[in-house]
Amino acid sequence: MRAAQRATRLIFLVSGMAMSAWAPMVPYVKLRLGLDDGQLGAALLAFGGGSMLSMPFVGWLAHRLGNRAVIVSAGLLMCVALPVLAQVSSVAMLVGTLLYFGVMLGAVDVAMNAYAVEVEHRSGARLMSGFHGLFSVGGLSGAAVLSALLALGLALPGAAIAIAVALALTVLWLRNGLHGEANAAGVAIEAHSRPGMPPARAWLLGLMCFASFMAEGAMLDWSAVFLRDVRGMAAASAGFGYACFSVAMATGRFCGDRLIARHGPVWAVRTGASLAVVGFLLVACVPLTMAALSGFVLIGLGASNIVPVMFSAAGRLAGAPPAVSIATATTLGYVGLLSGPALIGFVAHASSLSLAFAAVAGLLVLVGLSARMVR
């Protein structure tokens, strides 16, 4: 299983890098196409919609083809989207490419998490937090590397092609470590399980995941735009805001298991939500670039362990199989991640991006107040 663990870590890393590489491109695309915040938010709906469309079908594809085949094929196709996004010349092309990118990212996300569950089960060790920590490292690497290439003077299309080729070669290299036998066993287990309706508490946990994932989506799609348009940072450097968020997120996840074991899950949710609220308010209310970057760090630290705690709590609920409750929480969480940026765009168009960030802080206050649900 050592090779399978290594390959699983790499696909989480690749997925995070591909997703975050889009963040520094957003200001360039917005400027090139002459979009306002509302139009950009509407276009971003295609990204979320593509992922949501693919998720219900990935389980069936994995059953027919195996998780390994879905991970490798969708991973390679996902890489194609980055150079195209860097050169879109119309709103229709942007929407179509974001829809395609979302479909491939959603397919990779579902298949790699399904495979990660099987690897963790067969390894007999706690690995999931580390896997998601590697996704956060990917979030750091993708945004930072692309921003660095732009800062060095490389044109956006060239930087996107370099990232895409590196990710595609990594997917081709790791495919041999993804064992098809593990996938078949995992699919067989799911096929013979007896699903039931999730309990009401699973839906409530899912709503809490929705708020936390919305915070992550806000950082992915709007951090660079905020730094450039509101705080006046150069477009080539604006992607470092998401990099700060991703560093903090990865650090929090790699340390999370020990902190939760020491202080408990309720403390983790309350403390994390409080830190994220302070971070959003710092970004929205203090008109300094360094204050915004510090706020992104606090948001990353605060949000890092909320969702893992929620998933763990959903898996312990009585009245339904763990997979059913976890799937409910996961689905609502991804709705927040994928639709949240579009909602933020609409609020920003009606008022301001700072007020939209403050609204996300309000949702996280509700998460903190509901922390007892994870006891």
Considering only 16-30, 74-88, 108-122, 343-357, which range has the smallest mean pLDDT?
108-122
Mean pLDDT of the chain: 82
pLDDT at 194 over 50: no
Give the residue, 75 or 60, on which the prediction is more confident.
Answer: 75
Across the range 11-17, mean pLDDT stands at: 92
Query: What pLDDT does residue 181 have?
Result: 46
Domains (range + CATH), the chain: 1-192 (1.20.1250.20), 198-375 (1.20.1250.20)
Cα gap 143→249, rounded to integer Å: 14
Q: What would the mean pLDDT of 204-217 be, rounded to a whole number?
A: 88
Highest mean pLDDT: which range of 6-10, 161-165, 174-178? 161-165
42-56 mean pLDDT: 77
Question: What are 308-319's pLDDT values in tens digits?
Answer: 788 777 766 776
Q: What is the pLDDT of residue 334?
A: 76
Amino acid present at 223: S
* Closest among 345, 342, 226 to 289, alpha carbons compared: 226
Q: Rounded to whole angstroms, how far apart are CA atoms 62 and 111? A: 7
Rounded to an integer, the average pLDDT of 2-11 is 89
